[in-house]
């Protein structure tokens, strides 16, 4: 029997029966795969946390017809540090939600896997909430680049056209989005790979500014890829901080 081995991030789970679980896993070698695990919620021999959302585990499995049969799995990192903070856990769930909404089954993507793992590894380290929201903003921007999308920052205008992917000095239609200066600065720095400069406390950029940039990126993805990320479902209180005002 041909056994396969991979590392994977659990991005979705559904419990069924008395002790069984069905999971979706984004793997480093095979892309998104799905399989059922019998008696995992009652097992004394296997770690149930290895099939929890956001956990990175090592999986050994084989294929039988069109089904994946897992023979062994062990936890690599359950990101306990992220789970201990409500704010960080929400950001982590945003990352998992993006994967759930964008990934297609059986399509390997090493770049996305590596940036996801790296982002979660940084998120679990002690750091400011500003840094953590910038991690999320950069993560979404990485997806935009990975999909071959690119916006133009050559104009110094503050009106952004989702359709034309560029800034204008004047509002030309109701479909143009008015971009505050700080949000424009975030989009510029991400574009020019100067993210570290955004961490400075002297630049006046706030978490609300970063959330608004995330909102723009989410709308941009929805417009060009027809994919709704539903990030407001993962962040508490977003209706009150301006994050959803343009949705």
Can you tell me the mean pLDDT for 167-185?
93
Can you tell me the mean pLDDT for 213-228?
95
- pTM score: 0.89
Highest mean pLDDT among 50-64, 122-136, 191-205: 122-136
Do strands 159-161 and 67-77 pair parallel, antiparallel, or not at all (unpaired)? Answer: unpaired
C-alpha separations of 114 from 83, 100, 245 in Å? 21, 16, 32
pLDDT of residue 46: 58
pLDDT of residue 44: 62
Question: For 17-21, 150-154, 189-193, 226-230, which range has the lowest pLDDT when averaged over its residues?
Answer: 17-21
Q: Which residues of 135-155 are buried (b: 16+ CB within 10 A; e: fewer)?
A: bbbbbbbbbbeeeebebeeee
pLDDT of residue 18: 85
- Give residue limits of the domains in the chain: 4-77, 127-240
Can you tell me the mean pLDDT for 153-157?
94
Can you tell me the mean pLDDT for 23-39?
92
pLDDT of residue 17: 86
pLDDT of residue 245: 38
Q: Hey, is 225 helix, strand or coil? A: helix
Q: Of residues 200 and 138, which shows the higher confidence score?
A: 138
pLDDT of residue 5: 93
Highest mean pLDDT among 61-75, 152-166, 220-234: 152-166
Cβ neighbours around 84 below 10 Å, total: 10
pLDDT in tens, 99-138: 999 999 989 999 999 999 999 999 999 999 999 999 999 9
What proportion of the chain, given as a percentage, has pLDDT over 90? 73
Can you tell me the mean pLDDT for 26-34?
95
pLDDT of residue 237: 42
- Report the distance separating Cα 226 and Cα 229, nearest Å: 10
| CA nearest to 233, candidates 125, 105, 103, 90 | 90
**Which CATH number is associated with domain 4-77?**
2.40.50.140
Tokens standing for 247?
A: 């949705």
């Amino acid at each position: 029997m041909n056994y396969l081995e991979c590392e994977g991030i659990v991005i979705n789970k559904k419990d069924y029966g008395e002790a069984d679980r069905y999971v979706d896993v984004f793997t480093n070698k095979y892309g998104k795969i799905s399989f059922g695990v019998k008696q995992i919620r009652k097992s004394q021999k296997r770690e149930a946390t290895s099939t929890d959302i956001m956990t990175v585990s090592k999986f050994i499995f084989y294929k039988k017809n069109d089904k994946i049969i897992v023979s062994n799995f062990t936890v690599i990192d359950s990101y306990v540090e992220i789970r201990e903070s409500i704010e960080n856990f929400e950001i982590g769930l945003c990352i998992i939600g993006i994967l759930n909404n964008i990934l297609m089954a059986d399509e390997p993507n090493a770049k996305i896997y590596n940036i996801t793992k790296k982002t979660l590894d940084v998120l679990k380290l002690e750091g400011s909430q500003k840094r953590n929201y910038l991690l999320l903003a950069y993560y979404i921007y990485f997806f935009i680049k990975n999909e071959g999308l690119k916006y133009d920052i050559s104009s110094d205008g503050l009106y952004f056209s989702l359709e034309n992917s560029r800034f204008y000095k004047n509002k030309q239609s109701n479909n143009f989005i008015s971009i505050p200066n700080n949000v424009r600065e975030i989009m510029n720095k991400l574009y020019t790979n100067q993210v570290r400069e955004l961490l400075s406390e002297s630049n006046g950029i706030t978490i609300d500014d970063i959330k608004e940039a995330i909102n723009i990126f989410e709308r941009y993805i929805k417009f060009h890829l027809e994919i709704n990320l539903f990030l407001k479902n993962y962040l508490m209180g977003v209706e009150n901080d301006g994050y959803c005002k343009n949705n």
